[in-house]
Protein backbone atom coordinates (compact mmCIF):
# COMPACT_ATOMS: atom_id res chain seq x y z
CA UNK A 1 0.00 0.00 0.00
CA UNK A 2 2.85 2.37 0.77
CA UNK A 3 4.41 1.79 -2.64
CA UNK A 4 1.02 2.32 -4.31
CA UNK A 5 0.61 5.58 -2.39
CA UNK A 6 4.13 6.62 -3.37
CA UNK A 7 3.31 6.09 -7.04
CA UNK A 8 -0.07 7.85 -6.91
CA UNK A 9 -0.23 9.94 -3.72
CA UNK A 10 -3.53 11.13 -2.33
CA UNK A 11 -5.19 11.64 1.03
CA UNK A 12 -4.38 15.32 1.49
CA UNK A 13 -4.65 18.51 -0.51
CA UNK A 14 -1.56 18.24 -2.70
CA UNK A 15 -2.01 21.64 -4.36
CA UNK A 16 -2.10 23.42 -0.99
CA UNK A 17 0.94 21.47 0.16
CA UNK A 18 2.94 22.41 -2.91
CA UNK A 19 1.95 26.07 -2.63
CA UNK A 20 2.30 26.62 1.13
CA UNK A 21 4.02 23.56 2.56
CA UNK A 22 1.07 22.93 4.88
CA UNK A 23 -0.78 19.63 4.97
CA UNK A 24 -4.55 19.94 5.29
CA UNK A 25 -7.71 18.06 4.30
CA UNK A 26 -6.15 14.79 5.49
CA UNK A 27 -8.03 11.55 4.77
CA UNK A 28 -6.12 8.64 6.38
CA UNK A 29 -8.05 5.99 4.40
CA UNK A 30 -7.39 7.48 0.98
CA UNK A 31 -3.93 5.89 0.55
CA UNK A 32 -5.63 2.48 0.60
CA UNK A 33 -7.80 3.49 -2.34
CA UNK A 34 -5.27 4.90 -4.78
CA UNK A 35 -5.53 4.18 -8.49
CA UNK A 36 -2.47 1.91 -8.40
CA UNK A 37 -3.40 -0.11 -5.28
CA UNK A 38 -5.13 -2.95 -7.14
CA UNK A 39 -2.28 -3.40 -9.61
CA UNK A 40 0.29 -3.25 -6.81
CA UNK A 41 -1.49 -5.81 -4.63
CA UNK A 42 -1.99 -8.19 -7.58
CA UNK A 43 1.72 -7.99 -8.39
CA UNK A 44 2.85 -8.50 -4.80
CA UNK A 45 0.59 -11.52 -4.22
CA UNK A 46 1.70 -13.21 -7.45
CA UNK A 47 5.37 -12.62 -6.53
CA UNK A 48 4.91 -13.98 -2.99
CA UNK A 49 3.31 -17.20 -4.27
CA UNK A 50 6.02 -17.54 -6.93
CA UNK A 51 8.76 -17.08 -4.34
CA UNK A 52 7.17 -19.65 -2.02
CA UNK A 53 6.80 -22.19 -4.82
CA UNK A 54 10.43 -21.68 -5.86
CA UNK A 55 11.67 -22.12 -2.28
CA UNK A 56 9.67 -25.29 -1.78
CA UNK A 57 10.82 -26.53 -5.19
CA UNK A 58 14.41 -25.90 -4.16
CA UNK A 59 13.88 -28.02 -1.07
CA UNK A 60 12.38 -30.83 -3.17
CA UNK A 61 15.30 -30.63 -5.63
CA UNK A 62 17.82 -30.83 -2.79
CA UNK A 63 16.07 -33.78 -1.19
CA UNK A 64 15.76 -35.48 -4.59
CA UNK A 65 19.51 -35.21 -5.13
CA UNK A 66 20.29 -36.45 -1.62
CA UNK A 67 17.63 -39.19 -1.58
CA UNK A 68 18.86 -42.67 -0.82
CA UNK A 69 15.96 -44.91 -1.82
CA UNK A 70 14.10 -45.05 -5.11
CA UNK A 71 10.73 -44.46 -3.41
CA UNK A 72 12.07 -41.40 -1.62
CA UNK A 73 13.47 -39.97 -4.85
CA UNK A 74 10.15 -40.59 -6.67
CA UNK A 75 8.27 -38.72 -3.94
CA UNK A 76 10.54 -35.68 -4.12
CA UNK A 77 10.50 -35.75 -7.93
CA UNK A 78 6.69 -35.54 -7.84
CA UNK A 79 6.92 -32.58 -5.48
CA UNK A 80 9.49 -30.94 -7.73
CA UNK A 81 7.26 -31.40 -10.80
CA UNK A 82 4.28 -29.93 -8.94
CA UNK A 83 6.16 -26.88 -7.71
CA UNK A 84 7.67 -26.37 -11.17
CA UNK A 85 4.19 -26.32 -12.72
CA UNK A 86 2.95 -23.89 -10.07
CA UNK A 87 6.04 -21.73 -10.64
CA UNK A 88 5.43 -21.54 -14.39
CA UNK A 89 1.84 -20.44 -13.84
CA UNK A 90 2.87 -17.75 -11.39
CA UNK A 91 5.75 -16.59 -13.59
CA UNK A 92 3.13 -15.80 -16.24
CA UNK A 93 0.86 -14.12 -13.67
CA UNK A 94 3.78 -12.08 -12.36
CA UNK A 95 4.66 -10.90 -15.85
CA UNK A 96 1.04 -9.98 -16.54
CA UNK A 97 0.68 -8.20 -13.20
CA UNK A 98 3.95 -6.32 -13.76
CA UNK A 99 2.81 -5.13 -17.17
CA UNK A 100 -0.56 -4.16 -15.65
CA UNK A 101 1.21 -2.22 -12.91
CA UNK A 102 3.47 -0.39 -15.36
CA UNK A 103 0.59 0.57 -17.64
CA UNK A 104 -1.54 1.65 -14.67
CA UNK A 105 1.22 3.93 -13.43
CA UNK A 106 2.05 5.22 -16.91
CA UNK A 107 -1.57 5.98 -17.78
CA UNK A 108 -2.19 7.75 -14.47
CA UNK A 109 0.94 9.87 -14.61
CA UNK A 110 0.01 11.55 -17.87
Better-scored residue on pLDDT, 79 or 110: 79
Q: Where are the domains of the chain?
A: 1-34, 35-110
Distance CA 56, CA 90 (A): 14
CA gap 40, 95 in Å, rounded:
13
Secondary structure string (H, E, C) spanning 19-63: HHCCCCCCCCCHHHHCCCHHHHHHHHHHHHHHHHHHHHHHHHHHH
Query: Rounded distance, CA 18 to CA 110, Å?
Result: 19
| Rounded average pLDDT over 37-44 | 88
Tens-digit pLDDT profile for residues 10-33: 777 778 888 888 878 888 888 788
Measured distance CA(63)–CA(53) in Å, rounded:
15
Amino acid sequence: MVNAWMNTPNGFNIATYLATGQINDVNPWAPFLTVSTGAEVFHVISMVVLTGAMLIGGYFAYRYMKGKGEDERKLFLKGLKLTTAISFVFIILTIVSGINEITTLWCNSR
